[in-house]
Amino acid sequence: MRTPILPNRDPSGIEDECRSECLSAMRLPDPLTRVLKQPAGSTNYPLLWRRVEVQLDQSSLPAGLGKRTGFGWWQVVAASALGGVILLLLVLTHGGPSMGVVENVINEPQQESAAVEQSLAADVQADVTWSSVGDTGLRLRGGAAFSGIEARSVPKAVTFEDGSSLRLAQHSVVDALVMSARDVVLRLSMGKLVLNVMPDGVRRWTVQAGAVSVEVVGTRFIVERTAERVTVTVSHGTVLVRSEDLPERVERVGAGESLSVDIVSLSSHTDEQTKRTTKSDSQPPVGAVAALLERADRARLQGDWSVARHSLERVVNEFTDDPRAPLAAYQLATVRQSQGAAPEQVAAAFAYALRQNLGTSLRQDCYWRLLQAQIASGQRAASKETARVALEDFPDGRYSRRMREFLDGALAE
């Protein structure tokens, strides 16, 4: 039954103007509000207001006068030039920002354990990575920028300029995804971190551990990530843990409490069945591929491309002989496309999928998407070849007309 197109809220009387043919073709109402639910309001409105207040106070002007107590342009230029000279002098005398980081870490106050002190004396320079984009509103004590740290054989620790501190257990890796004036987002790729966030701060701290995120304002907590599970333990304060694997997708964890989230939902299988296998090993664990594909489907429907990609890559790489692997390869290519990957990468992904044993319908889709990606990446010769092969394979296929038009146009050039 055709979905009735409702009149929009346009009070000007030009209701039919600029109606969406796309929505009509998709049999969706225009506007879409009829099929959308209202997103839940944020519980952070009071905190958000405090941040607004802080920013208004920091701007140092009576609200509403609309005029900054700013500087003239020549003063800005002079300040920039002076800043550049100072920076140049710092680089020449101290050898660059990396030394600042080493000094900052080495000058940390005495820690509880001897192992941490030992790590401070270790060669940390090679472990610290630098971000090339994004502002670094929050810096380490001492003024150096922070974008990540890896603890190898010994634990590591850093303190930020606002008094918050981060400690990594050995064999742990943390990247800073965002370090702005309002947000700090850290990614725990592996291992364990202890985070002590100063309360009453204006920043929102978030730790991402795979598909689990932990949000905090003023507290101390531990996040531990293994291949199968993420565990959050709170010492002081409260955190919000978000994961699609939680019943309500979000859980509040208070002081003295702990929450564990399984990363891959294979709970219906025994430990023996969920062991990882390689191509040369015996048959893949029963249900493991199905569980991974189901997880990928859920993630795709939610637009969580990272989780979808990870799950599909596991199927493609670890269960190559499974009959569902070609489908996973095709879906992986579409996920790469949805992620906004470079056209060359998308083309490579679809080319790989084409080499698998895809069904007829998917094979046609795959040819068409590969052609589009090759055109987008400027691979003219390859795109012509793809169109030629596709037409040989499917002379009367779904995209044959357009492929012929493309080839005719390409050959005419």
Cβ at position 296, least distance to other proteins in Å: 10
**Look-up of token digits 């996040």:** 223
| Of the candidate residues 84, 359, 378, 395, the single one contacting other proteins (CB under 8 A) | 359
Using left for φ > 0, alpha for ψ between -120 and 50, and beta otherwise, residue 13 falls in left
Stretch binding other proteins (CB under 8 A), from 98-106, 164-172, 279-287, 302-310: 302-310
What is the identity of the amino acid at 44? N
Q: For residue 23, which of 43, 37, 4, 49 has the smallest C-alpha distance? A: 4
Of positions 1, 4, 16, 46, contacts other proteins by CB under 8 A:
46
Using CB under 8 A, which residues numbered 82 to 101 contact other proteins?
none
**Min separation Cβ 100 and other proteins, Å:** 23
Q: Take residue 290 and report the two structure tokens written for it.
A: 């199905």
Binding mask 158-197 for other proteins (x = CB under 8 A): -------------------x----xx---x----------
Q: Nearer to other proteins by C-beta: 30 or 224?
A: 30
199 binds other proteins (CB under 8 A): yes
Does 81 bind other proteins (CB under 8 A)? Our answer is no
SS3 231: strand
Tell me the CA distances in angstroms from 23 to 12, 300, 302, one per residue in order: 21, 22, 21
Q: How far apart are CB 391 and other proteins at their closest, in Å?
A: 16
| Of positions 327, 332, 354, 370, contacts other proteins by CB under 8 A | 327
286 binds other proteins (CB under 8 A): no
Q: CB nearer to other proteins: give 266 or 293.
A: 293
CB of 285: closest distance to other proteins in angstroms? Answer: 16
By CB under 8 A, is residue 136 in contact with other proteins? no
Of 10, 228, 385, 408, the one binding other proteins (CB under 8 A) is: 10
In the complex with other proteins, which residue's Cβ is closer, 120 or 212?
212
Q: Please give the Cα distance from 395 to 364 (Å, whole number).
A: 11
**Selection from 51, 194, 203 nearest residue 116 by Cα:** 194
CA distance 93 to 91: 6
Q: Half-sphere exposure of residue 60, counting CA atoms within 13 Å on the CB side?
A: 3
CB-based contact 244:211 (threshold 8 Å): yes
Specify the stretch interacting with other proteins by CB under 8 A; choose among 42-50, 70-78, 101-109, 222-230. Answer: 42-50
Residue 109 binds other proteins, judged by CB under 8 A: no
Interface residues for other proteins in 207-246 (CB under 8 A)?
208, 217-219, 236-238
Q: Give the SS3 label for residue 385.
A: helix
- The DSSP bridge partners found for residue 149 are 174
CA–CA separation, 204 vs 215, rounded Å?
7
Long-range contacts of 265-268 (CB under 8 A, 24+ apart): 265/291, 265/295, 266/291
Residues 360-399 that bind other proteins (CB under 8 A): 361-362, 364-365, 368, 372, 398-399
Number of shown-chain residues binding other proteins (CB under 8 A): 94
DSSP state of 110: P
Q: Which of residues 244-283 bind other proteins (CB under 8 A)?
A: 255
User: Residue 160 gets which letter from DSSP?
Assistant: B
Q: Between β-strands 183-196 and 204-209, what pairing exists: parallel, antiparallel or unpaired?
A: parallel
Considering only 5, 51, 229, 240, the residue that binds other proteins (CB under 8 A) is 51
Residue choice 1, 2, 4, 11 for contact with other proteins (CB under 8 A):
11
Contacts of 77 (CB under 8 A, 6+ apart): none
Task: State both tokens at 276.
Answer: 């990882």
Q: Write down the least CB distance from residue 218 to other proteins, Å.
A: 5
In the complex, minimum distance from the CB of residue 253 to other proteins, in angstroms, rounded to a whole number: 14
Q: How far is the CB of 354 from other proteins (least distance, A)?
A: 15
Tokens of 209: 């551990």
For residues 383 and 185, give the distance between their C-alpha atoms in angstroms, rounded to a whole number.
41
Min separation Cβ 236 and other proteins, Å: 6
Q: Applying CB under 8 A, which part among 6-14, 71-79, 92-100, 404-412 lies near other proteins? A: 6-14
Q: Is 65 in the site for other proteins (CB under 8 A)?
A: yes
Q: Which is nearer to other proteins, 69 or 93 (CB)?
A: 69
Q: Which CB sits closer to other proteins, 14 or 92? A: 14
Contacts of 347 (CB under 8 A, 6+ apart): 370, 373, 374, 377, 379, 382
Nearer to other proteins, 238 or 274 (CB): 238
